[in-house]
Structure 1
């Protein structure tokens, strides 16, 4: 456990060194947040309330979404896939840790820094300059738990996308398809509550809403919060178990590059 704690700290320190990249990403988030808020607030403002969202709720949805997108690393990463392609993953597998949980610990450290550098500032900006609803004090611990589960679900999906390289050698096609679809399926484009009923029901059986829409719903107190958290917890546990199973099978059955 001490090793995983150090890996989490290393992940925090690693991403805190890229300050210019963080500021550039933050500026991009704010600019796109302004565009999204202008569009959605105009659409909702004319009707007053749409699917439980008024203008203030739209503000929270937009600015939380802009921050959570970076917090959960929605667009994915390719570090593990690159190490599998090069064969360097063999070194990682020989180290005295479980690779899945080692990478998860490092990702938690990254998420911790991103929480401070990419999630909190857009929310503060939105709360200062636009209508913004704040939840009850009892909701904050639930929101924090929801964020943790959201990052866990995201990590599980990212790990599986990278682990597919054990079999495919090049996973860029799968990652491209994921990047195209995840924006809509996780509720980043528009709130899932705006979707037709059948689409909401279909998405409820997938892990995608857990990454963006679920934390926002918990913050806005839309729907039963414990039901939302239970949905996230189920997918977080299921994906971590699937990650473990996938890695175990890959180690036993697959020959990586380099022998």
Structure 2
């Protein structure tokens, strides 16, 4: 019961920093207005600029949105707490990597507006997939058979399920961090390649 209560509050705390409901980036809007043309000629990486901005947003939301209700929940209902300082460190690293994975996915979703002109359908699909496969709707360890295996191997699990498992001690921390780091790197590489392709195909809808 204590694990279930803790997981519930942790998953809620991840909503803001991990931007589980999508969005959080101005990229798609700037593509529609044509401002992306200015962004692409700046002497800075569009992707890394967005990542830096998103990390700042995540840190702010962690302090203002995640921490207060989690502390109140722990005081009212009781929480499972990590037994060692190392687990706290692994949890912090897991949360950081979860934010990077989330950014990588949302960046690709937003950048798709360069080709499909209107990203609302892509954003809606991303919302459904993220909620289902991240562990937000239902912990992934409750998924049956092959579905649970597949869901646990997908990048969305790195946003909610994996950090929660690291906190609760339900999986090896180093293996979990390696899994998150691999997906973070893969998504950032795909984002860099997509950005390079976007420089050769930008349809300006306004501005």
Normalised TM-score (structure 1):
0.76
User: 1:199, CA displacement in angstroms?
Assistant: 1.2
The corresponding residue for 1:62 is 8
Are positions 1:192 and 2:140 aligned together?
yes
User: 1:189, CA displacement in angstroms?
Assistant: 1.0
The corresponding residue for 2:92 is 144
Question: Superposed, which structure 2 residues align to 1:76-91 within 5 Å?
Answer: 76-77=22-23, 79-91=26-38
Q: Distance in 1 between matches of 2:205 and 2:182?
A: 35
Number of equivalenced pairs: 205
Q: Give yes or no for contact 1:60–1:123 (8 Å, CA) kept in 2.
A: no
Moved more, 138-147 or 68-77: 68-77
Are positions 1:164 and 2:112 aligned together?
yes
Q: Distance in 1 between matches of 2:122 and 2:4?
A: 32
Per-residue CA distance 1:46-69 (angstroms, 9 max, x = gap): xxxxxxxxx100111011110111
Q: Give yes or no for contact 2:87–2:166 (8 Å, CA) kept in 1.
A: yes
**SS of equivalent residue, structure 1 residue 132:** coil
Query: What RMSD, in angstroms, separates the aligned Cα atoms of the two structures?
Result: 1.4
Structure ID, larger Rg? 1
Are positions 1:75 and 2:75 aligned together?
no
Q: Distance in 1 between matches of 2:159 and 2:189?
A: 18
The corresponding residue for 2:59 is 112
Q: Distance in 1 between matches of 2:48 and 2:205?
A: 23
User: 1:197, CA displacement in angstroms?
Assistant: 2.4
Q: Distance in 1 between matches of 2:95 and 2:204?
A: 34
Q: Give yes or no for contact 2:111–2:195 (8 Å, CA) kept in 1.
A: yes
Moved more, 55-64 or 178-187: 178-187
Are positions 1:98 and 2:45 aligned together?
yes
The gaps in structure 1 that reach 5 residues or longer are 1-54
1:225 to 170, 173, 177: 173
The gaps in structure 2 that reach 5 residues or longer are none
**SS of equivalent residue, structure 2 residue 16:** helix
**SS of equivalent residue, structure 2 residue 15:** helix
Q: Give yes or no for contact 1:100–1:243 (8 Å, CA) kept in 2.
A: yes
User: 1:258, CA displacement in angstroms?
Assistant: 5.4
1:242 to 186, 190, 197: 190
**SS of equivalent residue, structure 1 residue 204:** helix
Q: Distance in 1 between matches of 2:194 and 2:116?
A: 14
Q: Distance in 1 between matches of 2:204 and 2:189?
A: 22
Normalised TM-score (structure 2):
0.95
**SS of equivalent residue, structure 2 residue 19:** coil
Q: Distance in 2 between matches of 1:197 and 1:220?
A: 22
Are positions 1:177 and 2:98 aligned together?
no
Off by >6 Å, runs of 4+ in structure 1: none
